[in-house]
């Protein structure tokens, strides 16, 4: 046992707390911050389009342009 790791075998709740403290934060790579080119609203999204929900219904989609 090292100096940095206290003896946590005394109590089950202490070992659970130690597990929580060792846990890493979840990465949020699936979200990105973007700005709508139409209304300039900044928001977080996991979609590939940069248009917000409000402007997307007004703006023609890329599928109809092709």
Structural domain boundaries enclosing 60: 32-65
What is the pLDDT tens value at each position of the chain, 66 positions in all? Answer: 455 555 545 577 777 778 777 776 666 678 899 999 999 999 999 999 999 999 988 756 554 554
Q: What share of the chain is helix, strand, coil (3-state, %, to 5)?
A: 30, 10, 60
Name the 3-class secondary structure at 19: helix
The pTM score is: 0.44
What is the pLDDT at residue 52?
92
- Is residue 26 a part of any domain in this protein? no
In Å, the largest CA–CA distance within the chain is 67
* Integer Cα distance of 24 and 4 in angstroms: 18
Distance CA(7)–CA(1), nearest Å, equals 8
Position 60 in a domain:
yes
What's the confidence (pLDDT) of residue 50?
92
Q: Residue 47: inside a domain, yes or no?
A: yes
42 in a domain, yes or no? yes
> What total number of domains does the chain contain?
1
């Amino acid at each position: 046992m090292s100096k940095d790791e206290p003896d946590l075998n005394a109590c089950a709740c202490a070992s659970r707390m130690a597990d929580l403290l060792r846990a890493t934060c979840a990465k949020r790579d699936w979200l990105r911050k973007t700005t709508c080119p139409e209304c300039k609203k900044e928001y977080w999204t996991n979609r590939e389009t940069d248009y917000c929900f409000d402007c997307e219904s007004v703006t023609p989609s890329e599928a109809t342009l092709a």
